[in-house]
Amino acid sequence: MITRLSQLFLRTLRDDPADAEVASHKLLVRAGYVRRIAPGVYSWLPLGLRVLREVERVVREEMNAIGAQEILLPALLPREPYETSNRWTEYGAGLFRLKDRKGNDYMLGPTHEELFALTVKGEYNSYKDFPVTLYQVQTKYRDEERPRAGILRGREFVMKDSYSFDLTDEGLAASYQAHRDAYERILARLGVKYVIVSATSGAMGGSASEEFLAESEIGEDTYVRCLESGYAANVEAVKTLAPAALPIEGQSEATVYDTPDTPTIDSLVGWANATTGVAEKVGHTVTGADTLKNIVVKTRVPGGEWELLAIGIPGDREVDEKRLEAALEPAEYVLVTETDFKNNPFLVKGYIGPKALQSNGVRYLVDPRVVDGTSWITGADEEGKHVVGLVAGRDFTPDGTIEAAEVRDGDPSPDGAGPLVAARGIEVGHVFQLGRKYTDAFEVNVLGENGKPVRPTMGSYGIGVSRLVAVIAEQQHDDKGLRWPAEVSPANVHLVIANKDDAAREGAEALAAQLDKAGLSVILDDRKASPGVKFKDSELLGVPLVVVVGRGYADGNVELRDRFTGESREVPAETALDEVLAIVRG
């Protein structure tokens, strides 16, 4: 196929769009690949659509290779199945909801576990039919709170979602592994640099779950790795390595001190080290890690009432909102307000302690480091007072633990193998063993080998097809523009006519025709524009191989430019076809 830039529906832009912060977003807009319609809603223009289709092709090839079968479900869905699974409520504000003319509730599908479970229930009824894996490449809708970076986090986006149905746990494990391997092959073919991390399963429930994170500093996911053991996890999934419990016997009594003007951890630590007897009681110079700060939030399970929840974490750490969110899911949380303090006078701001919380029936969850026998400096529930030597398991008994504290570079790996190092990534894929959550909800039963009904177990696997276009752009671009790996490039060759001479023009046309005949796709810059403009556009558009029919043509030469390395070389025009074919066919 020959695509003439003189005809192509394309306008490249010299300036970055005002709303763009990350490179991929700027470049995809400037190069005329996508255009914004509304926050998180984008149109695909010809070249962008080609890249999107190439990513889809790679994903389909690898899905088909593991025996997954493609189907297509609607994006417009009735409420009922999601009511049955409780996700109509659980999804909260993230769901696009609408009504039809008769007043019935509908929604735009954010993910399709319910519908796939129902689809399999509708067609299959015997153990002989299993295992089966179905997938679709489909437009999804999520009313994201913060749509971001163009197509990277859209409110409308393309996802490949697949679902495996097995009758045994071993079968599910095998389907999961097949998907995991397929995702590795997909990302390798797309040239994406990534890590696989253990994940929390989020709103979908279930057990074994891993995310594929594309390495990127602009990523919204923070993950940690232990270089010694290879352990890698999304911070939301990191389980704190809890120390062993300490003996309670022999620990000194808790003592309440007047600590005027110590509402912050820093001021409290300052007071402790300046006050005779405190450091002695603690046994060392006091740091923030010796203090226990108690944060009060309100939580609500979907459809339920707001309740107070107190979280105790070592004072040298902050609460990580994402970890807290993941720990509480599907319940949501908000911070307490002045009104809440007024309504609950036992909450003394800056001086909240376990005692008042527990005697007033507030659920109290602590960081896993707060094991029995650990001794803390914490609030004494009175303005200007703290207690020193409050021992867990003796002076207070939390209702449980919670993974809400930030994970830091250098924290010990949960497997005890060494320190953790943190980095950022963009989630491009997610695989997980769902189990029977949805087959239970929809009572999917099939006839077992022994005549008894069996309930299939599910896996659910998503890959962000449109997001991958942005991720590839983000990882591969340089300061001049986009750079597409050959597998997804909108064309095999970008052929620039940079010579006004008729002979050169004819030579370029002939070369384009030969390449086309050989089955290659060619972007032919046949516009009446200066070579400088054309070269700039070739760099911006990012086809990996640029062929220039320029000044050298008079001497019988054309130039081959490698968009990735920036290297160029002259070759005789008559060997250009073979040279290009050799490069493209590898």
Residues that bind Mg ion (CB under 5 A): 430
Which residue, 47 or 232, is less far from Mg ion as judged by CB? 232
Nearer to Mg ion, 26 or 430 (CB): 430
Q: How far is CA 271 from the centre of its chain?
A: 43
Residue 148 per-residue DSSP state? B
Tell me whether residue 142 or residue 494 sits nearer to Mg ion (CB atom).
142
Residue choice 121, 153, 293, 355 for contact with ligand ATP (CB under 6 A) = 153
Give the largest Cα separation in the chain, rounded. Answer: 98
Cβ closest to ligand ATP, residue 156 vs residue 539: 156
| Partner from Mg ion, ligand ATP, none binding residue 403, C-beta < 5-8 Å depending on class | none
From the CB of 303, what's the least distance to Mg ion, in Å? 23
- Range in contact with ligand ATP (rule: CB under 6 A) among 16-24, 152-160, 163-171, 489-497: 152-160
Site string for ligand ATP, 445-484 (x = CB under 6 A): -----------------x-x-xx-----------------
Residue type for 233, please? Answer: A
CB closer to ligand ATP out of 324 and 428: 428
Quote the DSSP letter at residue 481: B
> Which listed residue (129, 144, 325, 329) binds ligand ATP by CB under 6 A?
144
111 binds, among Mg ion, ligand ATP, none (CB under 5 to 8 A by kind): ligand ATP
Q: Tokens 């409050």 sit at which residue?
A: 390
Could you give phi then psi for residue 579, rounded to 5 degrees?
A: -60, -45
CB nearest ligand ATP: which residue? 464
- How many CA atoms lie less than 13 Å away from 565 in the CB half-sphere? 6
**307: part of which helix (H) or strand (E)?**
strand 307-314
Does 50 sit near ligand ATP (CB under 6 A)?
A: no
Report whether 214 contacts 425 (CB < 8 A).
Answer: yes
DSSP helix/strand/coil, 437: helix
By CB under 6 A, residue 427 contacts ligand ATP: yes
CB-wise, 39 or 373, nearer to ligand ATP? 39
Minimal distance in Å, beta carbon 94 to ligand ATP? 9
Pairing of strands 105-108, 96-99: antiparallel
Stretch that binds ligand ATP, among 81-89, 154-162, 172-180, 282-290 (CB under 6 A): 154-162
Q: At closest approach, how far in Å is the CB of 139 from ligand ATP?
A: 11
Sequence-distant (6+) residues with CB within 8 A of 505 are 497, 499, 526, 549
Task: Write out the two tokens for 5.
Answer: 């830039």
| CA–CA dist 192, 32 (Å, integer) | 22
Size of the site for ligand ATP (CB under 6 A): 16
Residue 439 interacting with ligand ATP (CB under 6 A):
no
- Which residue type does 445 have? N
* 157-186 residues near ligand ATP, rule: CB under 6 A: 157, 159
SS3 call for 560: strand
Taking the complex as a whole, the smallest distance from the CB of residue 529 to ligand ATP amounts, in Å, to 35
Question: Taking CB within 5 to 8 Å according to partner kind, which of ligand ATP, Mg ion, none is near residue 499?
Answer: none
User: CB neighbours of 249 closer than 8 A, spacing ≥ 6?
Assistant: none
Non-local CB neighbours of 391 within 8 Å, separated by 6+ positions? 248, 251, 254, 373, 374, 375, 376
Torsion, Cα 417 423 424 427, to 10 degrees, reads -20
Q: Does 544 bind ligand ATP (CB under 6 A)?
A: no
Considering beta carbons, is residue 153 or 281 the nearer one to ligand ATP? 153
Q: How far is the CB of 235 from ligand ATP (least distance, A)?
A: 12
For Mg ion, the closer CB: 209 or 492? 209
Closest separation between CB of residue 150 and ligand ATP, Å?
Answer: 10
Place of tokens 């509402």: 263
* Alpha-carbon distances of 110 from 155, 208, 269, 467, rounded to whole Å: 9, 21, 48, 15
Residue position matching structure tokens 């494990």:
173
Contact 403, 368 (CB under 8 A): yes
- Best CA proximity match to 500, nearest among 523, 529, 522, 524: 529
**Sequence letter at residue 336:** V
Q: Which residue is nearest to Mg ion (CB)?
A: 430
Using the rule CB under 6 A, is 154 a contact of ligand ATP? yes
The one among 293, 430, 477, 483 contacting ligand ATP by CB under 6 A: 430
Indicate which of Mg ion, ligand ATP, none lies near residue 77 (CB less than 5 to 8 Å, by partner kind).
none
Binding site for ligand ATP (CB under 6 A): 111, 142, 144, 153-154, 157, 159, 202, 427-430, 462, 464, 466-467
